[in-house]
Amino acid sequence: VFDATMATSEALFVASFIAWLIYPALSLRALHNLPGLRTHFSPISSSQSKLSAADFVLMSANQSPIPKAEAPTDNVFKKIINRPQRANFVFEDDELIVFWDRSPAAAVHLQVVPKQDPVPRDVCALTPEHVPLLLRMKDVAESTLSSKGYSTDQALLGFHVPPWISVPHLHMHVIAPRTAIDWTRRFKYSKNAGWFVCVDSTITRLERSGSVQ
């Protein structure tokens, strides 16, 4: 089931990007409404993009930061975390889980996934309060890469930007060596392209403007 889902997501990624190239005037909202994409990508409403006073109270009580949009509870990564869905695990603690990507783009291709609710739906759902989470994800990626014989300088660490996401649950791709990404996947994992943003750039944008977009 997981393999079929990822294969479908790969096809949707290519199809939606081609549509974006052919119809540059087509807004992201219109893309969300395309029949083939509606079930995979849901737009973030204006009400979701604002934090209430109650949200800030929760943050001050040492709760997980409130994202602009939460990951749905039935997504495949949530199933991996809760174990109904199998995966090849590399690392796990109370906050994060790391497992091998089912469709690797290079010799090492891992997913670093947050576990604690509320989990952001994607990179655009992050707020400045999520910077510590991103730094933690980066640290875990660095130590995991080191155990595989690579450094972060040799790797690509980043996120796809909606609507170019395959699973609506924040996850960071860790790919090494980045110079040897499979040629059929290099376009999908183009560093800091409009559809893929590196973790360092994500942190910088959040700290400077409060948003990835």
Longest dimension (CA), the chain: 48
Helix, strand, coil content of the chain in percent (nearest 5):
40, 15, 45
CA separation, residue 49 to residues 34, 43, 210, 213 (Å): 23, 11, 12, 12
Instruction: Work out the number of other CB atoms within 10 angstroms of the CB of residue 48.
Output: 14
φ/ψ of residue 198, rounded to 5: -75, 155
Residues 6+ apart with CB under 8 A from 127: 51, 65, 66, 67, 68, 206, 210, 211
Q: Among residues 109, 160, 171, 173, which one is catalytic? A: 171
Spatial contact of 120 and 67, defined as CB atoms under 8 Å apart: yes
Q: Are strands 89-92 and 108-114 parallel, antiparallel or unpaired?
A: unpaired
Q: Is 171 a catalytic residue?
A: yes
Catalytic residue numbers, as ranges: 171
